[in-house]
Structure 1
Amino acid sequence: MSTPYIDKEVNGEKSSDVVWHQAAVSHQDRVKLNGHKAAVLWFTGLSGSGKSTVANAVDVMLYQHGVKTYLLDGDNVRHGLNGDLGFSDQARVENIRRIGEVAKLFVDAGLLVSSAFISPFNVDRKMVRDLLKEGEFIEVFIDTPLEICEKRDPKGLYQKARAGEIKNFTGIDSAYEAPINPEIHLQTDGKSAQQCALEVLNYLKLHEYL
């Protein structure tokens, strides 16, 4: 059973002995070597909306264009880095905080990193945006109606949530706050994952990330 995270800092303060180490190879050096800008593509949407599918399709297209990338997926991260977290609101906040910090490191390395997480709360997505510089956080709203997500239900999670077997399930008994002004708004109904991925790629080209 997963346990919620526990803050292990004394009195909530970081030690003064912890100092950021400035690497000899700079962020700018890595971006120049890679030949493209670095940023986070933050895919958000309901469970079953197609976040991971679209993010994977985008990652393949970027790879084919010779772009240095990495893909962070919600389920994969919970197998390791966030394996100690449950699904309470507090644990969800910590889940996103950790991912934001990891994504920031990938950006510092000069990569275009895709993050596919439900990340249901606007304030938490803003928290990640605020970790990064202007233009380094690209919010991608995978806008799929709840009824379509439920029909897909690839993992049977909605069925379990409706039966009361899963608590705090986003869209059922836990809120999902849709992005207010995302950089990319993908209304997926009637579109293939490839079509959605092309919209993301076109955004990146138009705004000169590639």
Structure 2
Amino acid sequence: MTIEAAPVEPRLQALCELSAQVRELMDATSLTDVAEPELAAVTALLAEATARLRAATRDTPRSFDIGPDGTLRHLGNAVVGGANPHALPLVVERDGDAVHSRLSFRPMHEGPPGSVHGGISAMILDHLLGQAAAAAGKAGMTASLTVRYRKPVPYGVPLLASAEHVRAEGRKSWSEGRITTLDGTPLVEATGLFITPTIWPTPLHP
């Protein structure tokens, strides 16, 4: 794995602020009920903004780097990346071989009416399960993910997500996790199998 030296922070901050605004835009697009002329006007503005951003582009999203606090970060990640508009972004905290996060899904994550799409919940848990394996010194790639949906997951309300490493056999490692309400009611549960590769893939671009 190649890790870049810390980039210029003001630029990264600007990218994260842009991504945060795009998240607001996506939510607004999901919920808007303005008239057709206004939709057309906003579409034209966005087309212009898109062209301006494409004036200078990368081949891939941002890869791993070291933050000012000395920790590894991945601003282009689809789950935790502050510079990726698709990300919540999830802030993961570690406690030994376990990890946890407070989160709130957005309107753009809707699947069944009023509930979060099951694939979004699975993506969040896949990431946390992998983080738990890494916390135990067993970082690896997802080999299988088993998800059990207990109750509909609401968006727009505070929730808890957590995972812990449970066992390992050679290069294989297992983690278990869940998304719950604040009072501990289980909404989604998952078990993941991770395989530590003999050689880690190297990002093509920093």
TM norm structure 1: 0.29
Would you tell me which structure has more helix in proportion to its own residues? 1
Higher relative contact order (CA 8 A, sep 6+): 1
Would you tell me which structure has more strand in proportion to its own residues? 2
Larger Rg: 2
